[in-house]
């Protein structure tokens, strides 16, 4: 069966490549003579200052940067922090033009703001420079198109290079699923076999309800010493809450903005497209999400992705939604990892439509950078095919397709589910209007209010959408 979405992606890639052939396609002579070492000579001795979060990709990038320094003589110094702290420091640097950082990991929520405020030096400028651009590097062919659009493009122009690729998917305790006593009890109660990988949200709710137990109850014929929960969610006043909402929104057939889901094209995303998360699908998704609160740890109003990860790591959850940058830690059986669950999990797409955002941060070179050319050479090198493949083996979540499909990862759970998400066309590219960070704050506040019972799901989304539309119209 022809995969229409992949066919469209290939056609779009071809169209963009043809339109930009003068700047993006190098001749064979140049391909033979270009080298990173030669391109970097004018910048040898420079020191780059890069900002990233502390998860698996950033750790791998730090290690790989040592090799880059050996090749080029360009040093790379790192600062890692929580995303919220990072955003504040990077924005302060960009707004004040202090030039502290040369490569910033910017969240997709903030991409539109950075572009609108001219805080970023477009990567397209470097791609158009034959002295800097590796002729073997083609972002349209190498990156997964939806994540390139989601994280790094605006109006057909490339502003950054994808930092990683983290679509949402589910993990589940397959060791608990295999308990015959649990399978028998589930079938007796719900009249169907216990699914390892729920296809529908109705099934997921049954599973979450069934595996929510109190201390002293039995789980796999053993008495629990503490409460156990069917799933977990994030509802703190924090970005993780929006990401959880988007997961339910997309998987119930809704979108954040009209026009979401399109691939990179000559036009790219239109920043002024109308908000769509207050649709009937969005309301249904939020109502469903709220219905799960009976089956999650009681501190959910203060939960972020760190808390949900910690609960799964400690063996307190049956199934929950996560990302590819946390699963390497979940599968770490050492004392520094998650020995309670490592090797005991299965992976599956989110239930419902299975649609999920092609989420990922982007590498931006701030306009205030003192070493923009050297920064581009570093980021381009990280994105090269060989380095991307090696990075995947170090815990990276590659925004490129090929590393996920390399035979070395045929038995890796997160690779298997990521392949399925890519091949079956489950990815959605979300637009990033300049006001998205403010819209996000309004939305998160209302989601919390709904979780506290202060607003209905419909009231929460309609109010956030109305306020968001005013923000978008005032910025046009």
Predicted confidence (pLDDT) per residue in 407-440, tens digit: 999 999 999 999 999 999 999 999 989 999 999 9
* The pLDDT value given to residue 85: 86
- CA 259 to CA 239: how far, in whole Å? 22
Q: Which are the contacts of 94, defined by CB distance < 8 A and separation ≥ 6?
A: 104, 114, 117, 119, 120, 366, 367, 368
The answer to whether 168 touches 356, Cβ cutoff 8 Å, is yes
For 50-64, 110-124, 315-329, which range has the lowest pLDDT when averaged over its residues?
A: 50-64
Mean pLDDT, the chain, as a whole number? Answer: 91
Identify which of 260, 264, 274 has the alpha carbon closest to the alpha carbon of residue 476: 274
Taking alpha carbons only, the member of 383, 381, 382 closest to residue 36 is 381
In tens, the pLDDT along 55-74 reads 778 889 999 999 999 999 99
Three-state SS at 47: strand
Average pLDDT for 378-398: 95
84-88, 120-124, 382-386: the lowest-pLDDT one: 84-88
pLDDT at 3 over 60: no
Residue 20: its pLDDT value, please?
43
What is the rounded CA–CA span in Å between residue 337 and residue 327? 10
d(CA 440, CA 244): 12
Split at pLDDT 50, 70, 90, the class of 449 is very high
Per-residue confidence (pLDDT) for residue 266, from 0 to 100: 42
Which of 12-26, 80-94, 118-132, 297-311 has the lowest average pLDDT? 12-26
Residue 146, both tokens: 């939806």
In whole angstroms, give the CA distance from residue 41 to residue 35: 10
> What span, in angstroms and rounded, lies between the C-alpha atoms of 102 and 341?
38
Q: What is the pLDDT of residue 24?
A: 43
Residue 228, pLDDT > 50, answer: yes
Helices 436-451 and 239-251, packing angle to 10 deg: 80
**CB distance 348 to 168 below 8 Å:** no
Residues 6+ apart with CB under 8 A from 367: 94, 97, 118, 119, 120, 121
CA 190/CA 213 separation, integer angstroms: 17
For β-strands 356-357 and 345-348, DSSP reports them as unpaired
pLDDT level of residue 25 (50, 70, 90 thresholds): very low
Evaluate if residue 18 carries a pLDDT over 80: no
Examine the pLDDT at 234 and tell me if it is beyond 70. Answer: yes
Flag whether pLDDT at 272 surpasses 90: no
């Amino acid at each position: 069966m022809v995969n229409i979405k992949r066919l469209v992606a290939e056609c779009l890639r071809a169209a963009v490549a043809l339109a930009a052939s003068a700047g993006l396609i190098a001749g064979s002579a140049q391909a033979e003579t270009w080298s990173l070492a030669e391109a970097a000579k004018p910048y040898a001795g420079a020191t780059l200052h890069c900002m990233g979060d502390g998860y698996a990709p950033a750790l791998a990038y730090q290690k790989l940067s040592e090799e880059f320094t050996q090749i080029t003589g360009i040093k790379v110094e790192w600062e890692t922090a929580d995303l919220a702290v990072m955003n504040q420091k990077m924005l302060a640097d960009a707004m004040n033009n202090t030039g502290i950082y040369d490569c910033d990991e910017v969240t997709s929520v903030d991409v539109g703001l950075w572009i609108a405020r001219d805080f970023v030096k477009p990567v397209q400028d470097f791609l158009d420079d034959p002295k800097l651009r590796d002729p073997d590097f083609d972002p349209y062919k190498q990156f997964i198109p939806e994540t390139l659009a989601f994280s790094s493009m605006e109006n057909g122009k490339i502003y950054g290079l994808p930092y990683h690729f983290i679509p949402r998917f589910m993990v589940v305790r397959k060791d608990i699923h295999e308990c015959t006593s649990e399978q028998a009890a589930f079938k007796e109660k719900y009249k169907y076999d216990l699914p390892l990988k729920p296809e529908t949200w109705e099934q997921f709710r049954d599973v979450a309800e069934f595996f929510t137990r109190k201390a002293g109850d039995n789980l796999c014929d053993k008495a629990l010493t503490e409460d156990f929960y069917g799933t977990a969610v994030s509802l703190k006043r924090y970005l993780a809450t929006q990401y959880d909402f988007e997961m339910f929104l997309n998987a119930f057939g809704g979108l954040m903005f009209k026009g979401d889901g399109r691939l990179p094209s000559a036009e790219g995303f239109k920043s002024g497209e109308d908000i769509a998360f207050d649709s009937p699908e969005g309301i249904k998704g939020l109502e469903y999400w709220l219905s799960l609160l009976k089956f999650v740890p009681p501190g959910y109003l203060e939960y972020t992705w760190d808390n949900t990860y910690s609960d799964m790591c400690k063996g307190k959850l049956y199934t929950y939604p996560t990302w590819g940058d946390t699963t390497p830690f979940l599968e770490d059986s050492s004392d520094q990892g998650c020995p309670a669950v490592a090797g005991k999990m299965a992976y599956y797409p989110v239930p419902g439509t299975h649609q999920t955002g092609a989420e990922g941060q982007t590498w931006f070179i701030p306009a205030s950078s003192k070493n923009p050319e050297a920064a581009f050479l570093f980021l381009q090198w990280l994105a090269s095919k060989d380095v991307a493949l090696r990075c995947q083996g170090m815990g990276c979540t590659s925004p490129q397709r090929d590393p996920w499909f390399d035979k070395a990862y045929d038995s890796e759970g997160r690779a298997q589910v990521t392949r399925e998400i890519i091949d079956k066309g489950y990815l959605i590219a979300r637009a990033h209007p300049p006001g998205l960070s403010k819209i996000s704050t309004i939305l998160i506040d209302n989601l919390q209010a709904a979780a506290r019972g202060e607003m209905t799901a419909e009231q929460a989304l309609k109010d956030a959408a109305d306020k968001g539309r005013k923000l978008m119209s005032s910025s046009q």
